[in-house]
Amino acid sequence: MKNVQLTKQSQSHIRDNNVRLILNTLIHNEPLSRADIVRHTHISKPTVSTLIDELMDRDIVHEIGEGRSRGGRKPMLLRFNSSKKHFMAFEMGRVGYRVAVSDLKGGVLKKKEGEFNKGMSVRDRIDVIRTCVVGTIDETGIAPESILKIICIAPGVYVEGGREMKWFPGIGTEEPGDIKEALRDLLLHEVIIDHSTKLSLLGEKVAGKARDRSNVVYIDFAYGLGCSVMINGDIYFGPNNSAGEIGYFFSSIEEFRRGRIVPYEFGALEKNISGMALQRKGEEAARRYGDTLLGRITEEGEEGITARAVFKAAAQGDPVAYSILKESFCYFNMALCNIINMLTPEIVIFGGGFSRAGNFLLSLIQNEISDKVLFMPELQTSDLANDASIIGGIHYLINTTDYYTEL
């Protein structure tokens, strides 16, 4: 009796694997005929025909018309029904937000973005996101029930289940309760929460400068400081989903002796090099030195002194702003050398707000570390900007969805 049961399970397992192989082959090579699928998969023609019929009955695969004939009857071409369901990804940043809806192959149907009002709590931000989500769905013309999965992309320190967004840079207030539950209640849909820096690296792997690379370090220069790592083509999340917290690196013996990690506060390195750190150093310099280019640039804007203003003033020759960057990047470059010597990546990609400085940013790093690493990787700024995390979020959903059982 046990042998019969094992045989049945084995046959069912083989059948399911065949269906997944056929579907995966079609998705990545469509349009294909049944004969094409047989050649790609080496599954027998009768089996392919039977399983394709099942996928068509379930509206997962469509016939789209006849293909070219090599002599004889023209083959019927097949295509994956990528619009059967949809994915949604939204990012909640410190300043702004982005929402995108895609088909099952990652083709974006609609994308919207905006900025939060200053002083908004996380709860208020979720209300803004909900309004944007509803509006985005309405504008695509799809039915809300066609949304298969939703992912929330957010910064934070992921050390407590259900509290992934407890630490939200720049808000200054701790949000009560389970944020994941709050998202589900407001959006009426289960929501996956994942880290913006790691998903940005996945976006780079799919559509950016990590394509065709296997070992990559991605640095996110934002209000805080983030890092994610790709090893042998896979992003390393860590057992607690908290890998890459470069902001907690110690930069000196003194820091190590007197410091300690507090999960929902900035780490030692972030206090020296991050958007928040540059803003504070810029404000202090403006008070100390009075009339500087940094101060004049700040007066022209409405946001006060920001990391962007420090970069802009330094690039235009302000010695005060430049000294701020040189000192701050000494701390960062020390940390980066340690990462490079440990992991030997092929490329280091810089994203986030600092990456807009382009070659000027690279000049603060490249020449300072070239003789301090065993193997110098390529250093590049991201071309994807804010799209990296959204692309990564959508493809995270694609990679973790079993179309055979979930459609």
Are the beta carbons of 271 and 277 closer than 8 angstroms? yes
Residue 2's pLDDT is 46
| pLDDT for the residue 77 | 93
Identify whether the C-beta of residue 55 lies closer than 8 Å to the C-beta of residue 363: no
- The pLDDT value recorded for residue 181 is 76
Q: Which CATH number fits domain 86-199+389-406: 3.30.420.40, 3.40.605.10, 3.40.640.10, 3.90.245.10?
A: 3.30.420.40
What letter represents residue 291's amino acid? D
Distance in angstroms (rounded) separating the CA atoms of residues 247 and 6: 51
**pTM (2 d.p.):** 0.89
Task: For residues 50 and 38, give the distance between their C-alpha atoms in angstroms, rounded to a whole number.
Answer: 12
The set of residues, in sequence order, having a beta carbon less than 8 Å from that of 104 and lying 6+ positions away, is 80, 81, 82, 83, 84, 85, 86, 87, 148, 398, 401, 403, 407
Within the chain, all domains assigned CATH 3.30.420.40 are found at 86-199+389-406, 209-383
Q: What is the pLDDT of residue 99?
A: 95
3-state helix/strand/coil string of 254-269: HHHHHCCCCCCCCCCC
Which residue positions in the chain have pLDDT lower than 70? 1-9, 71-72, 156-178, 290-291, 295-303
CATH classification code of 2-80: 1.10.10.10
Domain 209-383: assigned CATH number: 3.30.420.40
Q: What pLDDT score was predicted for residue 302? A: 45
Give residue 252's identity as a one-letter amino acid code. Answer: S
Contact 278, 328 (CB under 8 A): yes
What residues does CATH 1.10.10.10 cover in the chain?
Answer: 2-80
Taking alpha carbons only, the member of 332, 2, 20, 381 closest to residue 204 is: 381
Q: In the prediction, which pLDDT does 1 show?
A: 43
Pairwise CA distance, residues 241 & 251, whole Å: 24
